[in-house]
Amino acid sequence: MIRRLALLQTFVAVARAGKMKQAAHELALTPGAVSQQIRQLEEAAGHRLFARTRAGVELTAAGETMFSALAEPFRAIEAVDRELGILPSHHVTVSTTPSFAATWMVPRLAKFARRHPDIEIAVETGVRPVDLKREPVDLAVRHGLGKYPGLNAIRLVAPELIVVASPDLLKNRAPLREPAECLAFPLIHDLNRQDWPLWFEAHGVAAPDCKKGPAFSENHLILRAAVAGQGLALVRDIYAEDDVRSKKLVKALTVNWPVQFAYYAVATSEALQKPAVRRFRDWLVEEARQEL
């Protein structure tokens, strides 16, 4: 029984992470041990639970069925662990993007710690949107238009994104004046390919094919691709300052920033019933308001 429970715990960890290596780190196991446990569980189940992809692994139909049955029970077990002190009772797990964590959240966390020394914050970063109803994450900070059905969302900050390009890409072309005109160029994306679609939606532009083009996991790679003339890039203004100053890049379009396109603190109603989660969410809002 204990052995089977360990296999199921490994399965849930891999399903949440989408990567064997990340799950292994969380479980304090080797990737080989995790792979072996998943193989044992698949043999017992009689079918494949995961399919390998270029990015990691994804659930098969059978795996989705199993994860749907196990996600909530394991969340309940983890909640009991916190109550028993196996995990801190004042522990808040936050998910956000690497860039937001590095440039906005992490530099401010010392202030929160001074105000609430009894609350422990664990920050997880990644480009994959977590499922707050199924994964052991209390709160997420997401970049979008604030449309998160079934979740509580509150606007935090709206750092401006600008459209930049290599001067050579724009040479002998009429200046861009409207967001829709960007569709005439190749578009360079972040890894989850969400910023351009949301940007066009915020400007009221129908752009069903705007997810095409190269994608990169880091802002500096997006900028290098733009400098190389591979397309238009949508990036934070502060990230492009040096390249714009040296004229390797130019602002391709100047438009008013859509205020609804921002970072939002998102959580389930159940998570916000925990005082620690609610205090951290309220503190994020307070910090954001100081920038207005």
- pTM score, whole prediction: 0.58
* pLDDT range class, residue 81, cuts 50, 70, 90: low
Neighbours of 137 (CB within 10 A): 21
Is residue 183 exposed (0-12), middle (13-18) or buried (19+ Cβ within 10 Å)?
middle
The pLDDT value recorded for residue 21 is: 82
Q: Is it true that domain 2-84 has CATH number 1.10.10.10?
A: yes
Is residue 120 exposed (0-12), middle (13-18) or buried (19+ Cβ within 10 Å)?
middle
Average pLDDT, the chain: 86
The pLDDT value recorded for residue 85 is: 56
As a whole number, mean pLDDT of residues 136-148 equals 89
The pLDDT value recorded for residue 222 is: 93
- CATH 3.40.190.10-classified regions of the chain: 91-152+269-289, 161-253
Among the ranges 73-87, 220-234, 250-264, which has the highest mean pLDDT value?
220-234
Q: Output the CATH code of domain 91-152+269-289.
A: 3.40.190.10
- CATH 1.10.10.10-classified regions of the chain: 2-84
**Is pLDDT of 1 > 70?**
no
As a whole number, mean pLDDT of residues 240-256 equals 89
Strand, helix or coil for residue 48: coil
* pLDDT range class, residue 176, cuts 50, 70, 90: very high
Is residue 187 exposed (0-12), middle (13-18) or buried (19+ Cβ within 10 Å)?
buried
**Is pLDDT of 231 > 80?**
yes
The pLDDT value recorded for residue 179 is: 93
As a whole number, mean pLDDT of residues 187-201 equals 89
The pLDDT value recorded for residue 28 is: 67
Q: Is it true that domain 161-253 has CATH number 3.40.50.720?
A: no
Task: Dump pLDDT digits (tens) for 21-79.
Answer: 878 777 767 788 888 889 999 998 898 999 988 778 889 999 999 999 988 888 877 77
**Contact between residue 213 and residue 233 where contact means Cβ atoms under 8 Å apart:** no
**Is pLDDT of 147 > 90?**
no
**Contact between residue 17 and residue 9 where contact means Cβ atoms under 8 Å apart:** no
